[in-house]
Amino acid sequence: MSVTFAPAEPSIAGVGDYIALMKPRVMSLVVFTAFVGLLIAPGHLHPVIGLTALICIAVGAGAAGALNMWYDADIDARMARTAARPIPAGRLAPGEALAFGLTLAGFSVVVLGLLVNLIAAALLALTIAFYVVVYTMWLKRTTPQNIVIGGAAGALPPIIGWVATTGSVAVEPVVLFLIIFFWTPPHFWALSLYRADDYARAGVPMLPVVAGEQPTRRQILLHTLVLAPLGTAPWLLGYAGPLYGVVAVVTGAAIIALALRVRAEQRGYAASKQMFAFSILYLFLLFAMLLADRFSGGLFGHWAA
Amino acid sequence: MTAMSEAMDEPQTRIKLTEQQLRARRARSIAIAVSLGALVVLFYIVTLVKGPGVLVRPL
């Protein structure tokens, strides 16, 4: 945060800039996985309370995104992918992003605690703090393991959703946590393979920058070999049906095949780009199938308050 | 008193907002108002849903 991007006051930041600060695409994945955690949990949750929990989780994720953009403005300015974000583009002062992020973080946690339950609120606070302090401020700039450990923040929302319904943690959401946790490194390493120059310019020690391409490709494969069996765990543990099982096995085989192609790739990044794109589809399909299972298994009975 | 009256006599230097800054500020103000309104409505609805139980907050 040594570089200042503050435009001359007063601010010209529009509402769209503040929405961009909240990383809406990341937020949508967070809300989706939290929704699945909330819905597959046993017990009854009134739809209004469920919706409140999801809004709080969405706003909390937005807060984490805003605080990340506040702290990482110097890095973002040096990367082509992120240079157009509101702070490096000069449309929004860092202080505005900081105030916005802290306000949203406070509101989201307090409202979740008041209207849903305190454990869910504590987990949301932990998620925001982990993403901002542990990942953004500490790991991202210091270790190539940044996204491995930092991925825990993105993996927590299904647990928060589950806890919003049940008030306690169980094995099922922890398995979902592990799926996202092991999904994150291959997903981001595939991206960082063909964005390595960007990361190197910004001084971010991503694995391809620090260790080189081949070790990164090997790590993508190793993590995918853990991820694919984990993806089938909800079915093997009996809380997802055969439809989920079939999708998990087929897409798991596909993502391993892609990881093998990434590992074998000698020139270009075609396989890496496919891996990055498919990994998003893979995670979406797994969680969508959990949702489909729940719908087919009597959704309305679940929602009845 | 003398210093105070001197300060009051000095012409005030105010920032004149540009049209773009005014528009942006108005949009932000409306967004804040809508957000706070939504929060009030949310608390109102949850109070109706929970009834007297709104004061009971299980862990």
For A46, the closest chain B residue by CA position comes to B49
Smallest CA–CA distance from B30 into chain A, residue: A15
Q: Which residues of chain A does B31 touch, with a Cβ-Cβ cutoff of 8 Å? A: 15, 18
Q: Do A15 and B27 touch (CB under 8 A)?
A: yes
Q: Which residues of B touch A11 (CB under 8 A)?
A: 21, 24-25, 28
pLDDT of A212: 92
CB contact under 8 A, B57 and A118: yes
Question: Quick one: which H or E segment has residue A115?
Answer: helix A94-115
Q: Are B20 and A11 within 8 A, CB to CB?
A: no
* CATH level 3 topology of A16-303: Farnesyl Diphosphate Synthase (1.10.600)
Chain B residue whose CA is closest to A92: B24
Dist. CA B59–CA B49, nearest whole Å: 19
**Residues of chain B above pLDDT 70, percent:** 69
Q: Is the pLDDT of residue B59 over 60?
A: no
Rounded Cα gap, residues B40 and B51, in angstroms: 16
Taking CB atoms and an 8 Å limit, are A11 and B24 in contact across chains? yes
CB of A70 closer than 8 Å to CB of A97:
yes
pLDDT more than 90, % of chain A: 87
Domain ranges of chain A: 16-303
Three-state DSSP class for residue A136: helix
For residue A195, what are the CA distances in angstroms to A71, A76, A189, A198, A234? Answer: 21, 13, 9, 5, 34
Q: Do A48 and B21 touch (CB under 8 A)?
A: no
Q: Which residue type, as a one-letter code, is found at position A195?
A: R
Q: Which residue has the tokens 């001084």?
A: A203
| pTM, full prediction | 0.88
Whole-angstrom Cα distance, residue A299 to residue B4? 72
Give yes or no for residue A225 having a pLDDT over 70: yes
Confidence of residue A10 (pLDDT cuts 50, 70, 90): confident
A12, A111, A167: residue with CB nearest B59: A167
Section A5-9 average pLDDT: 55
ipTM value greater than 0.90: no
CA-based radius of gyration for chain A: 20
Which pLDDT tens digit goes with each residue over A39-68?
999 988 999 999 999 999 999 999 999 999
Q: Is the pLDDT of residue A303 over 50?
A: no
Per residue in A116-166, pLDDT (tens digit) is: 999 999 999 999 999 999 999 999 999 999 999 989 999 999 999 999 999
Q: What confidence score (pLDDT) does residue B25 get?
A: 92
**Facing residue for B24 by CB, picked from A14, A48, A49:** A14
- Quickly list DSSP for A12-58: ---HHHHHHHT-HHHHHHHHHHHHHHHHHSSS---HHHHHHHHHHHH
